[in-house]
Amino acid sequence: MESPQAFFERNIFIMEAKDRQLLFEQIGKATKILVALPENLHADALASGLALRLFLEKLKKDVDVVSSAEVAGLADFLPKASEVKPVLQNTKSLVVELNTGEKKLDELSYQVLEDKVQVFLKSKGAPFTPEDLKFKNEKFPLDLVIVLGCQGFEDLGRLFRDNTEVFYTTPKINLDNKPGNEYFGAINVVDITATSLSEILAGLFEEYEQQLVDEQIATCLLTGIITQTNSFQHAQTTPQALMKASRLVALGGRQQEIIKYVYKNKSLPLLKLWGRALAKLKVLEDKGAAYSVLGGADFEKTEASEDLLLPALKELLLNVSGYRILGILAQGQAGGPVRFLAALRMETGSEHFEKQFGQPVKVMDAPGEPYRIFEFILPELSLPEAENLLLSSISGEKPAA
């Protein structure tokens, strides 16, 4: 008799295969497609979005890639990275409707002048008149929305808030690799065993039309896999990820260019700040926690701004493993409020920290890592007071059940 676990796993596989087939069918029917990326954008989400656009354009689809995040500097070497749009434009169109019930259209042409456009409509019989025309506003002709790397609509940020009708009324494909995904799409392809979105797309392209994967698409997908696995050094790198990467290199993925850009283009102040945070790391082994405290002198000596705190924490996550809690407590040179950036493993509850520090100003996933990052602002505390509060919080913090 089949065990409940085996039954569950077998049926999950069947459902995923069905969703993949439905995905291919939906893409085949669509003409105008929106690829929506998260507001907390990372290199894998950007790279997979660009790869998807290039792939869909080979299928003769009209594609827009949109994210409300700042894209510049994330992966500028990738093809069409500069064409990612910050907003979804023209959500309504002016429609010119011609009545052809009695007069049939023979020819349509237009010419663009300095301050106007003229449209010429020629009938097969009696000429058209103004009475044969109607004008109306209609919803933007969007056939399909593909959302990449979002657990729910809120991860899209401003893009969703400004276009809720589009996301609620248009068929949606939800593609993600996070266990907390809310399955909000009409079609959901969620593979929590995949190390990256790019790995999922590489498999889908291979299953659908691998001959369309050229050097540019392969480079985009390889970028996502490399950044998510820390160049295959991350402990969670799977044999499947290595196999996908190997095939992408064989298809022309420019591995050396990716390594050069992603790992050699990090700013010197970031590397200095990360090194200082690593050198000042305080480890509480019995609590499964580690944190660094950075003051104004640290920012002065590294010539770093507070904007580099989040990248520095992400660098720590890539190089320091095994802790449930990893954080940076910092106060900049100008004597502004103390900031606490805490990376908590997915299974670790955040409620105790929120009780002690208040509501976080930001919550985001750590790309490639089983962590969520919380940012707290502590305007009433000095740096030593904040550290004391942090120590008591770690001592009282319990993993989520």
What band does 114 get if pLDDT is binned at 50, 70 and 90? confident
Most confident of 7-21, 159-173, 315-329, 386-400: 159-173
pLDDT at 184: 95
What gap in Å lies between CA 84 and CA 67, rounded to an integer?
A: 7
Per-residue model confidence as pLDDT tens digits over 35-45: 999 998 889 99
pLDDT at 140: 61
DSSP letter string, 20-61: HHHHHHHHHH-SEEEEE--SS--HHHHHHHHHHHHHHHHTT-
Say if residues 38 and 155 touch (Cβ distance below 8 Å).
Answer: yes
pLDDT at 91: 57
> What CATH class has 4-88+142-263?
alpha beta
Please say if the pLDDT value at position 185 is more than 80: yes
Mean pLDDT on 282-286: 90
Please say if the pLDDT value at position 338 is more than 80: yes
What gap in Å lies between CA 350 and CA 372, rounded to an integer?
A: 9
What average pLDDT does the structure give for the chain?
86
Please say if the pLDDT value at position 104 is more than 80: yes
pLDDT at 385: 92
Residue found under tokens 């698409």: 217
Please say if the pLDDT value at position 10 is more than 50: no
Cα-based distances in Å from 393 to 67, 325, 354, 377: 35, 11, 10, 15
More confident residue, 376 or 400: 376
pLDDT at 351: 81
Q: Delimit the domains of the chain by residue range.
A: 4-88+142-263, 92-139, 268-396
Please say if the pLDDT value at position 137 is more than 80: no
> 133-139 and 92-98: which strand pairing?
antiparallel
Q: Indicate the range of 146-150, 238-242, 249-253 predicted with least confidence.
A: 238-242
> What CATH class has 268-396?
alpha beta
Structure tokens at 128: 């058209």
Question: Is the CA virtual torsion 200, 202, 203, 205 positive or negative?
Answer: positive
More confident residue, 260 or 137: 260
pLDDT at 401: 39
Say if residues 182 and 176 touch (Cβ distance below 8 Å).
Answer: no
Q: Pseudo-torsion of CA 354, 275, 264, 342, nearest 10°?
A: -10
Per CATH, 4-88+142-263 and 268-396 having the same topology is answered no
Q: Indicate the range of 320-324, 329-333, 387-391 predicted with least confidence.
A: 320-324
